[in-house]
Structure 1
Amino acid sequence: MIEKVFNMTNGNDPMIEKVIQDENVHYIHMIFNKDEGLPEHFANSNVYMTVLRGTLSIALDEQEVHRYGAYSILKIPFKTKMNVKNLDEEVLELIVLKAPAPQNA
């Protein structure tokens, strides 16, 4: 078999699931309930964030919080300050793709 298959967890329980972490890309599946999210941090690569369900509330650098619904795709530049949260009742599910893969991961 030439291809390598990866699987993601299906559900509503909060998680940060590192699906693929190799020398090319980091592919991360995240699920957050209301008032959950990531600690404020700086992007360690170019980040592509896809909202699968729910509403993403995100503040980048010194901007106000912006909200993005399902099927929105964000491109966030390297070294951007990020504050990622779910401020809504509905479960937030994201795919985060980091390319190129961060060197210090």
Structure 2
Amino acid sequence: MVEQLFKLTGGDDKIVEKVILDENLHYIHAIINQSDGFPEHYTNAVVYMTVIRGIVSLQLDEQDYYAYPTGTVLKIPFNTKMILNNFNPETLELILIKAPPPEELPE
């Protein structure tokens, strides 16, 4: 078998799973429930974010929050201040790709 297989967790329970962490990219799958999210942090790589379902509310740098619906793909620059939340009743599901990956692997 030449290819490698990876599996995403389904459902509605909160999860942040690091599906692929290698020298080419980091591929992260997240499911986030209403009134939950990621705390303020600075991106440690260029982040490509795909909204698979739900609506993600993002505050980037000093901008106001902005809501992005299902089907949106965002490119967020390296070292951008980011706060991510799900303010909506629908479960939020995201794919986050960091490419190139950060120098240090997350713990």
Query: What residue is the counterpart of 2:101 in the other structure?
Result: 101
CA offsets 1:32-87 (integer angstroms, 9 cap, x no match): 11110111100000000000000000000000000000010000000000000000
Q: Does 1:14 align with 2:7?
A: no
Question: TM-score, with normalisation over the residues of structure 1?
Answer: 0.98
Query: What residue is the counterpart of 2:74 in the other structure?
Result: 74
SS in 2 for 1:40: strand
Question: CA separation in 1, counterparts of 2:103 and 2:76?
Answer: 18
Question: TM-score, with normalisation over the residues of structure 2?
Answer: 0.97
- CA drift of 1:14 comes to 0.3
Q: Is there any run of 5+ residues in structure 1 with no aligned partner, and where? A: none
Q: Does 1:51 align with 2:51?
A: yes
Question: CA separation in 1, counterparts of 2:32 and 2:8?
Answer: 15
Paired amino acid for 1:40: E
Q: Identity, % of aligned pairs?
A: 52
Query: What residue is the counterpart of 1:63 in the other structure?
Result: 63
Q: Which runs of 4+ in 1 moved over 3 A?
A: none
Q: Is there any run of 5+ residues in structure 2 with no aligned partner, and where? A: none
Question: CA separation in 2, counterparts of 1:37 and 1:99?
Answer: 22
Query: What residue is the counterpart of 1:87 in the other structure?
Result: 87
Q: Does 1:5 align with 2:5?
A: yes
Paired amino acid for 2:47: V
Q: 1:13-52 maps to which residues of 2 (within 5 A)? A: 13-52=13-52
Question: CA separation in 2, counterparts of 1:5 and 1:15?
Answer: 20
Question: CA separation in 1, counterparts of 2:21 and 2:9?
Answer: 16
